[in-house]
């Protein structure tokens, strides 16, 4: 099975980067193919130009990203939650790469996903504790998670099979962090069936 990890965190030593590395290592150890797209390491321009809105005049850099998406059976998004939203670079990547006639189309006035058959997983990190986030608003986590799982990925036909929110990571010890990373990798691989599909 082909897995594409899309990492969106500018910090080299971030826990997001550690998650990406742990998932890559575990998946490769289980015999899967993995590619990692570190958006902050790339020179990808996240600003959607007017000529690309219709999805018919795409730049070479967009087509390269779409080739990666087409290659992947499973897209794994790893990013921090900022202002109860995705990092702007990730949102811009989605705006340009998940373009009309590639990721979706419209038939009879309704959107139709074109990435059906692909799976997706989400790993979100919060700097605050779950209690603090909930005190600000009980549905704060749902806003971001559902915007990605339903409003973006689901709309384009992907099935979201893992939705993981991680809180207050700065409060964990090094041992606790290592244990959590192993747990995340093992849990994902445990959901892979003998045919290489997410169950």
Q: What is the pLDDT of residue 127?
A: 76
The Cα 124–Cα 76 span in angstroms is 11
Going by pLDDT thresholds of 50, 70 and 90, the confidence category of residue 128 is low
Q: Name the token pair of 100.
A: 């009309």
Taken in order of first residue, the domains within the chain and their CATH numbers are 2-190 (3.40.50.360)
The Cα 14–Cα 173 span in angstroms is 14
Going by pLDDT thresholds of 50, 70 and 90, the confidence category of residue 173 is confident
Average pLDDT over residues 5-22: 95
Which phi and psi (to 5°) does residue 154 adopt?
Answer: -65, -40
The Cα 94–Cα 194 span in angstroms is 31
Q: What is the pLDDT of residue 18?
A: 95
Q: What is the pLDDT of residue 142?
A: 75
Measured from the Cβ of residue 39, the count of other Cβ atoms closer than 10 Å reads 19
Q: What is the pLDDT of residue 194?
A: 45
The Cα 41–Cα 156 span in angstroms is 26
Average pLDDT over residues 111-134: 86
pLDDT in tens, 17-33: 999 999 999 999 999 99
Q: What is the pLDDT of residue 197?
A: 61
Task: Kindly list the distances between the CA atom of residue 81 and the CA atoms of 60, 155, 161, 167, 168, in Å, as whole numbers in the listed order.
Answer: 29, 21, 19, 10, 12
Going by pLDDT thresholds of 50, 70 and 90, the confidence category of residue 5 is very high
Going by pLDDT thresholds of 50, 70 and 90, the confidence category of residue 133 is low
The Cα 112–Cα 130 span in angstroms is 35
Instruction: State the pTM of this model.
Output: 0.92
pLDDT in tens, 25-78: 999 999 999 999 999 999 899 999 999 988 889 999 999 999 999 999 999 999
Kindly provide the b/e burial profile for residues 102-125, where b requires at least 16 CB atoms within 10 angstroms of the residue's own CB: bbbeeeeeeeebebeebbbbbbbb
Lowest mean pLDDT among 4-8, 102-106, 143-147: 143-147
């Amino acid at each position: 099975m082909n897995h594409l990890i899309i990492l969106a965190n500018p910090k080299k030593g971030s826990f997001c980067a550690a998650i990406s590395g742990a998932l890559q290592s575990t998946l490769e150890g289980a015999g899967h193919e993995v590619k990692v797209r570190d958006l902050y390491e790339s020179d990808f321009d996240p600003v959607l130009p007017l000529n690309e809105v219709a999805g018919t005049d795409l730049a070479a850099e967009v087509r390269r990203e779409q080739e990666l998406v087409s290659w992947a059976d499973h897209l794994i998004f790893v990013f921090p939650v900022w202002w109860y939203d995705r990092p702007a670079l990730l949102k811009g990547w989605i705006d340009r790469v998940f373009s009309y006639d590639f990721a979706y189309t419209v038939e009879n006035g309704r959107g139709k996903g074109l990435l059906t058959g692909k799976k997706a997983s989400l790993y979100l990190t919060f700097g605050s504790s779950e209690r603090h986030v909930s005190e600000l608003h009980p549905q704060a986590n749902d806003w971001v998670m559902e915007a990605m799982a339903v409003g973006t990925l689901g709309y384009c036909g992907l099935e979201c099979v893992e939705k993981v929110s991680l809180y207050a990571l700065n409060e964990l010890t090094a041992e606790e962090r290592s244990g959590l990373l192993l747990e995340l990798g093992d849990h994902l691989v445990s959901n892979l069936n003998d045919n290489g599909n997410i169950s």
